[in-house]
Chain A
Amino acid sequence: QQQVKQSPQSLIVQKGGISIINCAYENTAFDYFPWYQQFPGKGPALLIAIRPDVSEKKEGRFTISFNKSAKQFSLHIMDSQPGDSATYFCAASIPQGGSEKLVFGKGTKLTVNP
């Protein structure tokens, strides 16, 4: 099953708080899990990504937690700022015939209030 389920659909956080977005997948052949940030009128920009042999990856205020047995991964944004207000997409890719197309979640609209 090539789906990635993302929740919540929208999230409101106060400045300085922690934003948490979750994703779940079924296909254990997925081998790459990126998170993208998208501002209105712009394309998705890669934030951070992880492979399934690692349980956590941190880059600045952004952390991916990966639970292989539960087939879930999440994005944590520490010390959330108003400038983080954007739509966030999780994705997963599977190597298939030389293609590594991305399967995207439906997105989470994050609003960080000042």
Chain B
Amino acid sequence: NAGVMQNPRHLVRRRGQEARLRCSPMKGHSHVYWYRQLPEEGLKFMVYLQKENIIDESGMPKERFSAEFPKEGPSILRIQQVVRGDSAAYFCASSPYRGGQPQHFGDGTRLSIL
């Protein structure tokens, strides 16, 4: 499958736990965007990364959220001490080069906080 792969597809966490969401971009793509989608809402940009670099984190909440895209392996979106309001679908998209369009999306991770 050459598409954007996200896992897990569903993740359930209790308040206060940590959530780790993974994204493997399309083959040949080295740039990853993360977006969050609340129920009945459009997607909202969170962060843009290339390998080993954060390019734009203007949409990331200031606390508890972090993202990385190491030289080897998938991009990780990490949410510490989760709260009910973090319940959402988290999507990543990849592009082949900096600023490249179109962005190709994965099928997302649905995060539920108990």
Interface residues of A (CB under 8 A from B): 6, 32, 34, 36, 41-46, 49, 89, 91, 93, 95-107
The residue that A44 contacts in the complex, of B48, B58, B91, B95, with Cβ under 8 A, is: B91
Q: 26 interchain pairs (CB within 8 A)?
A: A6-B42, A34-B102, A41-B107, A42-B107, A42-B108, A43-B106, A43-B108, A44-B91, A45-B105, A46-B102, A49-B101, A91-B42, A96-B56, A97-B55, A99-B55, A99-B99, A100-B95, A100-B103, A101-B45, A101-B48, A102-B33, A102-B43, A102-B45, A106-B40, A107-B40, A107-B42
Known: A44-B105, A45-B105, A49-B101. A106 touches B41 (CB 8 A): yes
The residue that B42 contacts in the complex, of A32, A89, A95, A96, with Cβ under 8 A, is: A89
Say yes or no: A93 contacts B101, CB within 8 Å: yes
Say yes or no: A43 contacts B107, CB within 8 Å: yes
Known: A43-B4, A44-B91. A100 touches B105 (CB 8 A): no
The minimal Cβ–Cβ distance linking B25 to chain A, given in whole angstroms, is: 13
Interface size on B, residues (CB 8 A): 29
Known: A42-B107, A98-B56, A99-B55. A106 touches B101 (CB 8 A): no
Nearest B residue to A48 by beta-carbon distance? Answer: B102
Nearest B residue to A44 by beta-carbon distance? Answer: B105
B71 part of interface (Cβ distance < 8 Å): no
User: Which of B41, B55, B91, B100 has the most chain A CB within a 10 Å cutoff?
Assistant: B55
Interface residues of B (CB under 8 A from A): 4, 6, 33, 35, 40-45, 48, 55-56, 58-59, 91, 93, 95, 98-108
Contacts of A89 in B (CB 8 A): 42-43
**CB-CB nearest 6 A-B residue pairs:** A104-B42, A99-B56, A43-B105, A101-B45, A100-B99, A43-B107
A58 to B87, CA, bound (A): 37
Say yes or no: B103 contacts A102, CB within 8 Å: yes
